[in-house]
Structure 1
Amino acid sequence: MNAPAQPRFTLERQRQIVAALDKLLPAGCVLFNEEDTRPYECDGLSAYRQLPMVVALPQNEAQVIDILKTCRDLQVPIVPRGAGTGLSGGAMPIADGVVVSTAKFNKIIKLDPYARTAIVQPGVRNLAISEASAPHGLYYAPDPSSQIACTIGGNVAENSGGVHCLKYGLTVHNVLRVRMITIDGDVVELGGGALDAPGLDLLAVFIGSEGMLGIVTEVTVKLVPKPQLARVIMASFDDVVKGGDAVANVIAAGIIPAGLEMMDKTSSRMVEPFVKAGYDTDAAAILLCESDGMPEEVEEEIARMTEVLKASGATAIAVSQNEAERLKFWSGRKNAFPAAGRISPDYYCMDGTIPRKHLAQVLVRITEMESKYGLRCANVFHAGDGNLHPLILFDANQPGEFERAEAFGADILELCVEVGGTITGEHGVGIEKINSMCVQFSPAEREAFFSVKRAFDTAFLLNPDKAIPSLHRCAEYGKMHVKRGQLKFAELERF
């Protein structure tokens, strides 16, 4: 699937940009031949692809500043890029733009075990921070499934989470300071080394802004002590409604597990032959509930969660007896996305968030949608915080299947909004969900988003046409969605 049509560049324009960037960067750091730019044509959402005009690979902050000033003066759009593991098309290039990759910013500048902080460049891998901190008994808590490859700069852009974000929070809760460069080449530091910083809290605005406000050059993250013990419960349920209700019951009991994840039968069956984690492949749903901390508190919490799960209708319960078994239980959840390739040529990973009390209701509705669209869906959830990751299975070689998968996904996101949730959790909006933003936010709210962007990027050159839909786009999207004889967003027709 190609990207939506975009304005193309002329060879003369490309030569002008390459010549300007060649003056700023070392040899080999400006890419423009197709065979060199092809690896940058998409992020993890590979259904949408677009070759960039130019790719720039700066090696230091001064070069980033020069690139931004030059692109501003030449009115060239810029797409910042980390490792390209994002799943919403946020790093997809613009045809007449420059991709600025932070891959060469891969140094851990300072690790302070006493302050429990690390200052890192944006190209440092998420897992590398924990690996460097391990000798001090510390680690970096946010753990996306792609943590072996994703970078901290990309995590900041998307406000990434992970299976332990229920207890330890998202990226925004674990970053103290960001050093970034604006489109005008100004160096701005948001946040600070302390728990609070003077002035407006622009750090929280910047984290999750998907590369639309500036380019990160340095991040200060919080480190947390590695728990003395961690154990995980694997509970099986013969009904997805019981499994969904069990999640709400655990939280209602006043328990905040380190992780609380849910997988349906389709998910466990596709991953179990790969990881051999001991999943009950006949169960309609499996919950993974982890407790960590001091041995005494872990044992108490495991006992309390076991009691709640049994009362909620669990048909089988297993508790990890050692660290190797705990990691094996988690391995299935961590490998659920790639394991989809075992049962389907392609999959479309959605990302929405709902109130926990509606988990069961939403699971039932998604099952009904499978019949509506004639496609299977494997459900993998950060159940504890209501973050859904339905994997819609399809075959891109079959005409019309990807379009049905897109419509299926949009329907799921509308369902999330309907039950009081939101269209995203940790994957961002990018290009994938830009139409769905029209479902959730009013014209006035979207204009407020644009006002924030203007404050940082008046020329709208940083990752333009991503994340925030225009009034015109929403009007067109509304015209496409007629239900029960009525147009959605009919109020937009008067504009």
Structure 2
Amino acid sequence: MSTLTANPDFEQRRRDVAAALCAVLPPHCVLSRLEDTRPYECDGLSAYRQPPMVVALPEDESQVAAVLEVCRTLNVPVVPRGAGTGLSGGAMPIAQGVVLSTAKLNRIVRVDPYARTAVVQPGVRNLAISEAAAPHGLYYAPDPSSQIACTIGGNVAENSGGVHCLKYGLTVHNVLRARVVTIEGDVIELGGEALDAPGLDLLAVFIGSEGMLGIVTEVTVKLVPKPAVARVIMASFADVVTGANAVARVIAAGIIPAGLEMMDQTSSRMVEPFVHAGYDLDAAAILLCEADGTLDEVEDEIARMAAVLRDAGASAIAVSTSEEERLRFWSGRKNAFPAAGRISPDYYCMDGTIPRKNLAQVLAGIAQMEVKYGLRCANVFHAGDGNLHPLILFDANQPDELARAEAFGADILALCVAVGGTITGEHGVGIEKIDSMCVQFKPAELAAFFAVKRAFDPLALLNPDKAIPTLHRCAEFGRMRVTNGVLPHANLPRF
């Protein structure tokens, strides 16, 4: 038992908060015993764990508002949680806080095939939306690798993408409206079901805000027609740099594939025994390029992409000949993260975004970092939009390997910023990248972010100490981190 949980004052606080929540929720919707709250101690970033004081599982919007009212009255921090598949620690609890899970808000309110929209509660799984829309020949386009488990509420919080985000966009491009409960208990609607909404575009501000501005209770998403045909090219390359350059060549040719993904040989070889996707294991890198649309459109685009890829140096090209084979090609890419467990006790998944023209440069830099830190890295990513997902492989049982993996990851993100990119594409900042925010943003920019948060959450109770670092934290980070002999943000105040 931790020192905190053994503290009598803490135990009394836990009992008081749980009792207050039981007054507004059914008893089975309040968890306060350690054995019941333990499953909520982390999200997909399992290196960091903290059991919450209490877990609340409201069953409808009015109960969400009631939970927030209790927490506001008692001055208790609230950490919103979806399915817990996030990879940046955004849903990691606070020791003296409440985790508010939206898992029980899991109803598909309606599917409108004429407006091509679906109205769903935040606990609805991403894939379940497409399953509900399938009888109408429609589907929901954003498809994170965790789509069988992740929920739309979490997708909204992190602005999730997926392998088809190049053509169809991220969550922010596919959500029309969100119904939100603020920390003050107000229910507000952001956006609308029309093509435009009056006033400032607060919906775009809310999407990707990592639970720091409010709790979403209902979402209206766009649905798109399921393509008549879809086929995938698997292109092999003798080296990673040539493969990376081929990505830019495809886009420069005026082709926007439905998906354009890249995997290096380490990734392919760890995935193939896991799912038997049919990957070329002799290739240093493979590209998966998908075309979708009518039969004529797909045949034309496949031919054009194949020509560009051959001209860019592809050593072999294979094209899916059936829907089964197409799904098998994608299954390898979507199972890259769990497959990492076959070759390493632990992995640390990074998430940075760079201009496509810098792919080769950044991949070469990552290769140098492997030598610097003495750790392997499997590269698998959304190449079409420059969203990298390096998997740093390490063994947490070795005393210093987690620290080396974290330093490796921080260097990757710093390189992303240096080439004109950003420290995240779809996983969010959470606690994982909060120091890297100090590398990317200036003090005035961070102050502006805090101003937006204060406008929504003046008491700073919603997911505090996540995503936006204080200037004090950045000053301390600047003191500790010297890159190439240069102290970043030397102008930051020293406290």
TM-score range, shorter chain: over 0.9
Aligned residues: 491
What is the rounded CA distance, in whole Å, between the counterparts of 1:178 and 1:484 in structure 2? 45
- Determine whether 1:391 maps to 2:415: no
Give the 5 Å matches for 1:47-446: 47-446=47-446
* TM-score normalised per structure 1: 0.98
Whether the 8 Å CA contact 1:142–1:160 is kept in 2: the answer is yes
How many Å apart are 1:478 and its aligned residue? 0.7
How many Å apart are 1:484 and its aligned residue? 4.3
Whether the 8 Å CA contact 1:155–1:171 is kept in 2: the answer is yes
Whether the 8 Å CA contact 1:9–1:95 is kept in 2: the answer is no
- SS of the residue corresponding to residue 11 of structure 1 reads helix
Structure 2, unpaired ranges of 5+? none
Whether the 8 Å CA contact 1:8–1:96 is kept in 2: the answer is no
Deviations 1:34-65 (A, max 9, x none): 11000000000000000000000000111111
RMSD across aligned C-alpha pairs, in angstroms? 1.3
Residue type of the partner of 1:125?
R
How many Å apart are 1:109 and its aligned residue? 0.4
- SS of the residue corresponding to residue 163 of structure 2 reads coil
What is the rounded CA distance, in whole Å, between the counterparts of 2:263 and 2:52 in structure 1? 37
Deviations 1:91-143 (A, max 9, x none): 00000000000000000001101110000000000000000100100000000
What is the rounded CA distance, in whole Å, between the counterparts of 1:373 and 1:9 in structure 2? 44
How many Å apart are 1:274 and its aligned residue? 1.1
Q: State the match for 1:474 in structure 2.
A: 474
What is the rounded CA distance, in whole Å, between the counterparts of 1:491 and 1:55 in structure 2? 42
What is the rounded CA distance, in whole Å, between the counterparts of 1:486 and 1:192 in structure 2? 48
Residue type of the partner of 1:29?
C
Q: State the match for 1:23 in structure 2.
A: 23
How many Å apart are 1:416 and its aligned residue? 0.1
How many Å apart are 1:494 and its aligned residue? 5.2
How many Å apart are 1:487 and its aligned residue? 2.0
Q: State the match for 1:11 in structure 2.
A: 11
Moved over 6 A (4+): none
What is the rounded CA distance, in whole Å, between the counterparts of 1:405 and 1:274 in structure 2? 24
What is the rounded CA distance, in whole Å, between the counterparts of 1:67 and 1:459 in structure 2? 15
Question: Kindly, what percent of the aligned residue pairs are identical?
Answer: 79
Deviations 1:439-494 (A, max 9, x none): 00000000000000000000000000000000010011111112344322211145
What is the rounded CA distance, in whole Å, between the counterparts of 1:484 and 1:408 in structure 2? 15
What is the rounded CA distance, in whole Å, between the counterparts of 1:163 and 1:234 in structure 2? 14
Whether the 8 Å CA contact 2:472–2:494 is kept in 1: the answer is no
Deviations 1:153-196 (A, max 9, x none): 00000000000000000000000000000000000000001110
Whether the 8 Å CA contact 1:176–1:221 is kept in 2: the answer is yes
What is the rounded CA distance, in whole Å, between the counterparts of 1:415 and 1:226 in structure 2? 38
Whether the 8 Å CA contact 1:85–1:146 is kept in 2: the answer is yes
- SS of the residue corresponding to residue 332 of structure 2 reads helix
* TM-score normalised per structure 2: 0.98
Deviations 1:424-446 (A, max 9, x none): 00000000000000000000000
Residue type of the partner of 2:14?
Q
What is the rounded CA distance, in whole Å, between the counterparts of 2:163 and 2:9 in structure 1? 42
- SS of the residue corresponding to residue 188 of structure 2 reads strand
How many Å apart are 1:17 and its aligned residue? 0.4
What is the rounded CA distance, in whole Å, between the counterparts of 2:179 and 2:253 in structure 1? 41
Deviations 1:316-352 (A, max 9, x none): 0000011000001111101000000000000000000
Q: State the match for 1:33 in structure 2.
A: 33
Deviations 1:4-51 (A, max 9, x none): xxx996111111101100100112110010110000000000000000
CA 1:137–1:484: 2 relative to 1, 3 Å: closer
What is the rounded CA distance, in whole Å, between the counterparts of 2:362 and 2:9 in structure 1? 45
Structure 1, unpaired ranges of 5+? none
- SS of the residue corresponding to residue 397 of structure 1 reads coil
Residue type of the partner of 2:403?
E
CA 1:316–1:50: 2 relative to 1, 3 Å: same
What is the rounded CA distance, in whole Å, between the counterparts of 2:237 and 2:137 in structure 1? 36
What is the rounded CA distance, in whole Å, between the counterparts of 1:415 and 1:309 in structure 2? 27
What is the rounded CA distance, in whole Å, between the counterparts of 1:88 and 1:8 in structure 2? 32
Deviations 1:210-254 (A, max 9, x none): 000000100000000000000000000001110000000000000
What is the rounded CA distance, in whole Å, between the counterparts of 2:216 and 2:493 in structure 1? 39
How many Å apart are 1:278 and its aligned residue? 1.3
What is the rounded CA distance, in whole Å, between the counterparts of 2:298 and 2:159 in structure 1? 29
CA 1:494–1:56: 2 relative to 1, 3 Å: closer
Residue type of the partner of 1:294?
T
What is the rounded CA distance, in whole Å, between the counterparts of 1:408 and 1:391 in structure 2? 11
- SS of the residue corresponding to residue 459 of structure 2 reads coil
Residue type of the partner of 2:232?
V
Residue type of the partner of 1:39?
P
What is the rounded CA distance, in whole Å, between the counterparts of 2:276 and 2:250 in structure 1? 27
